[in-house]
Structure 1
Amino acid sequence: MSEFESASRPSADPGAGSPEKERGRRRSMLVAAFGTVVEWYDFSIFFYVATTLTKEFFGGQADSLLLTLGVGAAGFLFRPLGAMVFGHLGDRVGRKHALVVSAVLMAVSMLGIAVMPDYNTIGIWAGVGLVFFRCLSGFSVGAEYTGIMVFLMESAKPGKRGVAASWAAANSEVGALLAVGSGALLANTLSTEAMESWGWRILFILGALLAALMVPLRRMMVETDTFKRLQNAEKTDVALQRSPLITAILEQPRAIIVAFLISSIGSVSYFLNITYVPTYIEEVAKVPNSGSLALGTVAAVVAIVVTPFFGVASDRFGRKVSLAGLMVVFIFTTIPAYVLLSNDSAAIAIGGAAFLAIPAAGWSAVAAAMIPEQFTGTSRFSGMAIGYNVATVLFGGLSPLVATWLMSSTGLTLAPAIYATVIVIVAGVPVLFLARSMGRKTLAEIDEDRHLVPA
């Protein structure tokens, strides 16, 4: 038995301890959960105002929307790089410190986009600047969602990890709602000319302020007991002195694969069933920007409301059962819901948005606890960061681009729905066989599970 294993036995309940420690634990969890608001506001607002950014940075030329979506996708390409850097920091220096640095870089990237001169002022350099700051944003959030899920999972009480981690997913939808809601407010308040000229910049300034606010808040967070035990064990256990990323790749490849597969479905469903909805409606149904953003707001609200209930369900009925049920819903409702989106009736279109948002939110809620439970504490941050962020690149940032390209090349307006359904089937079936059911185990049992760490 390693130093880390023996040290982990007394702390099955992260909430055990003095009232002061309990208050610190709760405060840290609240701060951590709030962080996903900023991350998903950042990435959501880019796609919600994609048509405006196209005109501002690329002159609004033919097919330049694809170029703008490509810039958004480029940001996602830097997430795995950020994941490797911040994952190492999270497992070696601390979960809290990695999240503080990430918040600083997010603030810089969003402020940079907000003040960047447009295409008419500096020509092609406007697009170059947009690419740079978008890539910086992608690098910075390599730590965000994964780090927050790890923090919440390690801080939650036994039997409550599902509902605790689901708040990270719920707050990511709060970030999306804040993005689409503020965008809709400005679009309905300002004239079209004002919105396209300077109104959109306010949205990125708001994001920069939120990210800057996270810096002092995260400095007050208390490290998880898991990381503290790792620090103590590392002094005497040579195996723990190896790179956490290498440890994850060599000792927990199955966990990385499961994280990738679960995150692939979560990414494609979130970015096509929630974030991409306003752009889809504008392109297919020719609905004005204000109307499409309003419909996107409905999808975000529905997602926020249902997310914690799925977290509770995963604690009660099990993670695998919950995912299997959601897969069935995905397969049979995605295409019909997309049909409803382009309906002339606003009520029917709203119903379509809701049908798309519910399973997407549910999957994110269950995944928030299930993915970190696949790893032991020695490389949880690093391993999860790689599996999650690679999936987010391929099936998150690229999904809107792929969906738009598929519609353009095939002429099928339902191409995004078909694409999403295929990904759910291809990635979902292996998950049901490969994923481990760890929801009913204590954190100490997970961290010393012999199936996860070879003897």
Structure 2
Amino acid sequence: MTNSPQTSETPQSKRTRSMLIAAFGTIVEWYDFSIYFYVATILTREFFGDRPDSLLLTLGVGAAGFLFRPLGAMVFGHLGDRVGRRAALVISAGLISVSMFGTAMLPGIETAGIWGGIGMVVLRCVAGFSVGAEYTGTMVYLMESATPGRRGLATSWAAANSEIGSLLAVGLGALFASMLTPDAMQEWGWRILFVIGGILAAIMIPLRSMLEETETTKRIQTAQPRERDASLKSWRSSPLVLVLRHQPRAVLVAFLISSIGATSYFLGITYVPTYLTNEVHLAEAGSLGLGTIAAVVAIIVTPLFGLLADQVGRRRSLIGLVVGLVLTTVPVYALLHVGSDGVGIIAASFLAVPAAGWSAIAASTIPEQFTAVGRFSGMAIGYNIATVLFGGLSPLIATGLIAATGVSLAPAIYATVIFLAAGIPGLMLMRNMSGAQLDEVDRDDMLVGV
């Protein structure tokens, strides 16, 4: 058995620098997708006019971008397993930058008619493809680089930085909405928000080129197959096929845990400003302000949940959170309708806490379900399919359920059903590797040296 990544092969200073760079990258991904949904009402007017179904169309375009995430997961997951984590992360940052700058330059419906909307669809698909393995790649990198007993805390920074990305999006959105007139925000203010995202993504390209490859990656690139049918060529050329054949349970658990994370995050944090604007009839500046407060709360509590996962274990922590989500989501959504600023702040913050906590603990739990070989590919597929179905589609489904039923609490009821349906089997099937050394988590019986 080879040593774990915490050896002298990679100096501590270089590993720490690489972990900080990797964690920072999630800011860009979540800024990109969050800013789209936070300014969805503005984009609706800009690209799809004032038709009754225009908001649904805008949310549908956002969901279309998520549909390309599994494709990106296959491509970048393959690249991350076969070539290395660093290469996948560098290329994805470049594509995100192209998507963000392109969105900022799109002509609106008054200038280009339907073509502006078509361009938005294309660029959302590029963005979805490019981040197909962005967050998962960061979680894998941090988990494989963390010191023993601190994987929960280390990976929780990926979740915290994703929330910083959302905070940056909603905070800048609220700032622009309060400083600019509605006409100025509609005409050019939202474009500056996308330019900022493009700049952040471009900065990540040279930074990620400085990443040190993880020791786990180095080991699997030099390992030899133990069995004849597990030929060196086959597992290196098709890591996704290998992980689907030999670790289907891990992929399923990744999907189930990610389903809860996506639902709680997008309906408990990202969708709340849109919900407040359309259902509670709060002004855009006010709804974005509440969203900003909720994002700050999420960032503060995320590393605390990472520590909790290290101290009491992944399964116990997740059980407590899923019970909390099931019992509180509907009542807290109801509080959003009270109309009081104080109650609104409390409700928005309360929704953010379990959503942030789940993301923090899942960040270490999901990569620990996989052995070293195929971890990037398998995790990327499980996570991104869940994110498509229960992340990108959730705002669209929530808005559609309200329109179809007339029940304003329909999003909360829908979320509660998902928490139960995915939480019970996910918690039963997961392997709890909280106290295991990384070489034990990595161990793959098909290969010698891993």
TM class by smaller structure: over 0.9
TM superposition shift of 1:15: 2.9
- Structure 2 partner of 1:5: none
State the identity %.
63
- Structure 1 partner of 2:274: 279
Corresponding position: 1:349 with 2:344: yes
- Structure 2 partner of 1:40: 30
Tell me: CA distance 1:295–1:442, structure 2 relative to 1, closer, same or farther (3 Å).
Answer: same
- Structure 2 partner of 1:75: 65
Corresponding position: 1:388 with 2:378: no
TM superposition shift of 1:241: 3.0
- Structure 1 partner of 2:145: 155
Aligned pairs (5 A) from 1:193-342: 193-233=183-223, 238=232, 240-342=235-337
**Does the 8 A contact of 2:372 with 2:444 survive in 1?**
no
Counterpart pick for 1:422 among 417, 422, 425: 417
Query: Whole-Å Cα distance in 2 between the matches of residues 367 and 83 of structure 1?
Result: 18
- Structure 2 partner of 1:3: none
Counterpart pick for 1:373 among 362, 368, 372: 368
CA-to-partner distance for each residue in 1:343-388, whole Å, 9 max, x for gaps?
A: 2110001110011000000000000000000001110000000000
Q: Give 3-state SS (helix, strand or coil) of 2:393's partner.
A: helix
Q: Give 3-state SS (helix, strand or coil) of 1:427's partner.
A: helix
Return the letter of the residue paired with 1:31.
I
TM superposition shift of 1:61: 1.7
Return the letter of the residue paired with 1:79.
R
- Structure 2 partner of 1:192: 182
CA-to-partner distance for each residue in 1:309-358, whole Å, 9 max, x for gaps?
A: 00000011000000000011101111111011122110001110011000
- Structure 2 partner of 1:182: 172
Return the letter of the residue paired with 1:255.
A
Query: Whole-Å Cα distance in 1 between the matches of residues 334 and 388 of structure 2?
Result: 27
Q: Give 3-state SS (helix, strand or coil) of 2:436's partner.
A: coil
Query: Whole-Å Cα distance in 2 between the matches of residues 449 and 148 of structure 1?
Result: 22
**Does the 8 A contact of 1:234 with 1:241 survive in 2?**
no
- Structure 1 partner of 2:12: 22
When the two chains are superposed, the root-mean-square deviation of aligned CA atoms in Å is: 1.5
TM superposition shift of 1:242: 4.4
Q: TM-score, normalised by structure 2?
A: 0.96
Q: Give 3-state SS (helix, strand or coil) of 1:67's partner.
A: helix
- Segments of structure 1 that go 5 or more residues without pairing to the other structure are 1-8
Counterpart pick for 1:63 among 53, 68, 82: 53
Return the letter of the residue paired with 1:214.
M
Runs of 4+ in 1 over 6 A off after TM superposition: none
Q: Give 3-state SS (helix, strand or coil) of 1:116's partner.
A: coil
**Does the 8 A contact of 2:373 with 2:444 survive in 1?**
no
**Does the 8 A contact of 1:168 with 1:368 survive in 2?**
yes
- Structure 1 partner of 2:125: 135
**Does the 8 A contact of 1:376 with 1:452 survive in 2?**
no
TM superposition shift of 1:235: 8.9
- Segments of structure 2 that go 5 or more residues without pairing to the other structure are none
TM superposition shift of 1:158: 1.1
TM superposition shift of 1:450: 5.5
Q: TM-score, normalised by structure 1?
A: 0.95
